[in-house]
Amino acid sequence: MDLHVNNILKDLEKDDIQAYLITQFTNVEYISKYKPTSFAFCIIKENPIIYVSEMDMELAVRDSTINVKQYESYDVMIQELKKEGIENLAIEPALPYSTYAKFKDDFEISSQTYIDKQRMIKTDSEIEKITKATEIAQKSFLQLDILNNKSTEKAVAFDLVRHMIENGASRESFDTIVTSGPNSSLPHAIPQAKKLGRPVLIDWGAIFEGYCSDNTRTVVYSESQQEIWDIVAEAHDKTVKAIRPGLKCCEVDKVARDIIAEYGYGDKYIHSTGHSLGLDIHETPVFSSRDETIIEKGMVITVEPGIYLEGKFGVRLEDTVAISKKADVIGDLPLKID
Amino acid sequence: MDLHVNNILKDLEKDDIQAYLITQFTNVEYISKYKPTSFAFCIIKENPIIYVSEMDMELAVRDSTINVKQYESYDVMIQELKKEGIENLAIEPALPYSTYAKFKDDFEISSQTYIDKQRMIKTDSEIEKITKATEIAQKSFLQLDILNNKSTEKAVAFDLVRHMIENGASRESFDTIVTSGPNSSLPHAIPQAKKLGRPVLIDWGAIFEGYCSDNTRTVVYSESQQEIWDIVAEAHDKTVKAIRPGLKCCEVDKVARDIIAEYGYGDKYIHSTGHSLGLDIHETPVFSSRDETIIEKGMVITVEPGIYLEGKFGVRLEDTVAISKKADVIGDLPLKID
C-alpha cells in the first residue's frame, strides 16, 4: 500500500480510530492519485475505498491507486461502514458541516489533522514537481520583458499565464496578480484594464503535475520606491538565512517583522511572512506570529515580506524555500529585475 | 439596508435566530458586494458586520456595503457577539467543521439554507449579468471556427479562454473542457496536448461581473455519432419546453431521462440534467432525480443531457435557461454547429 496511506493508518491505530473520512479534492488526490471532478468520499481504513459519482467512475477507476466504488447515498455508505464494525470516524477539519451532520448520529466523530501533517513533509518527488513548476513560472516571467512592457495589467497577467501554459504548466496556481501604481498597496489586487503604472508588483505561480509554485517580484522606479524595496529585500534575505529545522514558524515570522519594524514600517507589514504549498497553494504550517509548528526537513514554505503604503504603493518580494539543513531557495530568478 | 440582507433578517426573525454566520466567498460577495481574497466572517444580524484580515481591510472598506471590522481572533468575535446578547447562531451548511467547532460551545447552533434559498431566485440585474456572460462565451466559441480548427485540445481550450477575456469576461467560469475522440465519454475530461479527434465536445463558460455562464456543444462527424447527437438534441429541446414554474426539479430530470431511456441509452446517461448557476457555477436547485424543489420564476438552471459510450465517444448539449412563465434559453448559439 501507498506510503501516505500507511502512515495515516499508523496514526489511526495510535489513536484507536477505525476510519478517516477525506473529501477535499487535493487530499483525495494526495492519497489516491485520482483527482476528483465533482465529489468524492475517501475512507482510509484497513481496506481503503473512494466513493465517487457515476459520472466520475471511468476516470476514477483509471487513475486511483485505491479501490473505487460508485456512490449511491449517504445511507448506503453508512450501512457499509457499520457492517465492517466501524464505530468511530475521524474527519478532515475542513469537512463541510452538512457532511459532518450526515455521519454524526451514527459514529463517534473527531476532527483530525493526520492528512495535513502528512502533507507538510514533502517527498523528494514532490519537491521536484514544485521546483519544475517554479522553473516554468520564472522562465515565463522573464518572457514578459516587464521593464519594457507597455501593456495593461490585465494583458500582462494573461500573457504570463499563456507563457506558463506554453512552457508546460497545466494552469496558474492562483489568480495571477499584476498590479501597479497605488493599487499595489492591495496585497491581493485584481489586474485592471489600465496601462502598467509604477511600481509594478507581480505575484504568480504555475501548476506542474498538480504541484504549485509561488513567487512575487516588485519592479520599482523612483528613489522612494527603491528605499522601501531595499528594506523588503533585506527582510527577505535575512529571513531565508535564518530558517533552519528546529526553529518555530512564529520565530521566522518575527525575523522578517522585526527588520521591517526597525525601519519604522511595522504597521505597514499587514500579513504573515509565508505559507506552505504543494497540491494546494495554501497549506500548513505558515510563518505567522501564531504558528508554533517546529520547522522540519521536507517542508516547502514561501518567504514573502512586504510593505504597503495605502494610497501610494506596495512592495512584496517572495520566494519559495525547501527545508533541508537550511532553507534552499527554489528557482534562480534574481530579486532585482533589470 | 440591502434587499438580500433584509430578506435574510426576516427569515432569522421567523425562526427566532439572532445571527447568521457566513464565510463562503460568493455568499459574502452576494451579501456585501465585497469579494474576499483570504477569509471573511460575515455575521448577518440587526447590525450586520464582516470581519476581515488586516491585509484585506483597504479593499473591504472600499467595496463592502455593510460594516467591516478587522479580525483579531475567534475569541474577540465570540465575546463581541455575546456582549450583544447573541445566544443562538445559524451557520451555512458548507461551513468547515473546524470553524463550527470554534463557535459550538458558546452558541446554540443550527445549519440553515437561508442564503442558498435567497440565491436561488435571481433578480433582473443578476439575469442580465448571466446573459452578458453567456453572450461573451458564445461569441468567443464562434471565433474558434471549430469545424476547421486543427489545433490540440489544450490549445483550443486556451484560445477559447483568451477570446472570452478579450471579449470582456473576467475569467472562465470553470476549467474549460475541450475533449475529443474516445475521451469525450468522460463528462469532466481534461484537455490534452493532442490534435482534435472526432467528435469534439466543448463545455465552457465566462464570468462577467461575478456571474457565470455555462454551455456545451458537441460537433459530430460520422453517422453513428449523429444518431446519438439527435437523441441528445431531442432530450435537450423537449426538456426545455417542459420546464415551467410549479413543476418539481426531479420531474424535469425525468423528462430528459425518459427520452434517452426510450432509445435504449438510459444507463449511458450518467449525470443529472442540470444545475443552477449564478455567482457560483454550481448552485441549488438541481435537475436531479432526488431534488424535489418546486421551480419558480427567477431561477437560472442548465439543461444538459448527454450520452456517454465508454471507449467510443460522448455527446452532451447544454444551454442555460431563465425561468419566467416558461424556460427562456439564454443566448442564441444554435445546438448544431455548421
Distance of alpha carbon A20 from alpha carbon A91, whole angstroms: 6
Please answer yes or no on whether A97 and B94 come within 8 Å at the CB atom. Answer: yes
Contact status of B61 with chain A (Cβ, < 8 Å): no
The mean per-residue pLDDT over the stretch B157-172 comes to 94
Does pLDDT of B97 surpass 90?
yes
Under a CB-based contact definition with an 8 Å cutoff, are residues A319 and A236 in contact? yes
- Smallest Cβ–Cβ distance between A56 and the set B94, B97, B188 belongs to B188
- Using a CB–CB cutoff of 8 Å, tell me whether B266 touches chain A: no
Task: Evaluate if residue B16 carries a pLDDT over 90.
Answer: yes
- Predicted confidence at residue B259, as pLDDT, reads 98
* Contact call for residues A286 and A311 (beta carbons, < 8 A): no
Does the pLDDT at position B147 exceed 90? yes
Mean pLDDT throughout B181-210?
96
Residue type, B72: E
A40 φ, ψ (degrees, to nearest 5): -155, 140
- 8 Å CB contact of B55 and A187: yes
Which stretches of chain A drop beneath a pLDDT of 70? Answer: 1
**Does B55 lie at the interface with A, CB-CB under 8 angstroms?**
yes
Determine the pLDDT at residue A338: 85
* Cell numbers linked to B66: 455593510
A151 interface with B at CB cutoff 8 Å: no
Question: How would you class A62 by CB atoms within 10 Å of its CB: exposed for 0-12, middle for 13-18, buried for 19 or more?
Answer: exposed
**Is the CB of A267 inside 8 Å of chain B's CB atoms?**
no
- The answer, for B121 touching chain A at a CB cutoff of 8 Å, is no
Task: Give the tens place of pLDDT for each residue, A46-91.
Answer: 999 999 999 999 999 999 999 999 999 999 999 999 999 999 999 9
What mean pLDDT is predicted for residues B274-287? 98
DSSP letters for A105-162: TTSEEEE--HHHHHHHS--HHHHHHHHHHHHHHHHHHHHT-GGG--SBHHHHHHHHHH
CA angle at A25 for the pair A207 and A317, rounded to the nearest 5°: 35
Whether residue B233 has pLDDT greater than 90: yes
Which amino acid belongs to residue B181?
G
Give the residue-averaged pLDDT of B183-201: 95
Average pLDDT rounded to a whole number, residues B106-114: 97
Which H or E run includes A307? Answer: strand A306-309
Rounded percentage of chain A residues whose pLDDT exceeds 90: 98
Out of B58, B97, B186, the one facing A310 most closely (by C-beta) is: B58
Among chain B residues, the shortest Cα distance to A60 is held by B186
- pLDDT tens figures, A260-308: 999 999 999 999 999 999 999 999 999 999 999 999 999 999 999 999 9
Task: Give the pLDDT band of residue B338 (cuts 50, 70, 90).
Answer: confident
What is the residue whose three cell numbers read 505575484?
A203
pLDDT digits (tens, 9 = 90+) for B25-68: 999 999 999 999 899 999 999 999 999 999 999 999 999 999 99
d(CA B280, CA A229): 38
Whether residue B1 is predicted with pLDDT greater than 80 in this model: the reply is no
Looking at residues B148-167, what average pLDDT do you find? Answer: 94
The answer to whether A15 and A112 have CB atoms below 8 angstroms apart is yes
**CA of A169: which chain B residue's CA is closest?**
B154
Among A97, A154, A179, the strongest candidate for a mutation testing the B interface, having the largest count of B CBs within 10 A, is: A97
The Cα–Cα gap between A197 and A67 comes to 54
- B-chain residue closest to A168, CA distance: B193
* pLDDT score for A317: 98
Would you state the pLDDT for residue B2? 79
Range A222-257 burial, b when 16+ CB lie within 10 A, else e: eeebeebbebbbbbbbebbebbeeeeebbbbbbbbb
Taking an 8 Å cut-off on Cβ atoms, the answer to whether B98 and A96 are in contact is no
CB contact under 8 A, A271 and B54: yes
Write down the pLDDT at residue B124.
97
- Strands A215-219 and B215-219 come out as unpaired
pLDDT of residue A2: 79
**Residue written as grid cell 504573515:** A272
8 Å CB contact of A188 and B162: no
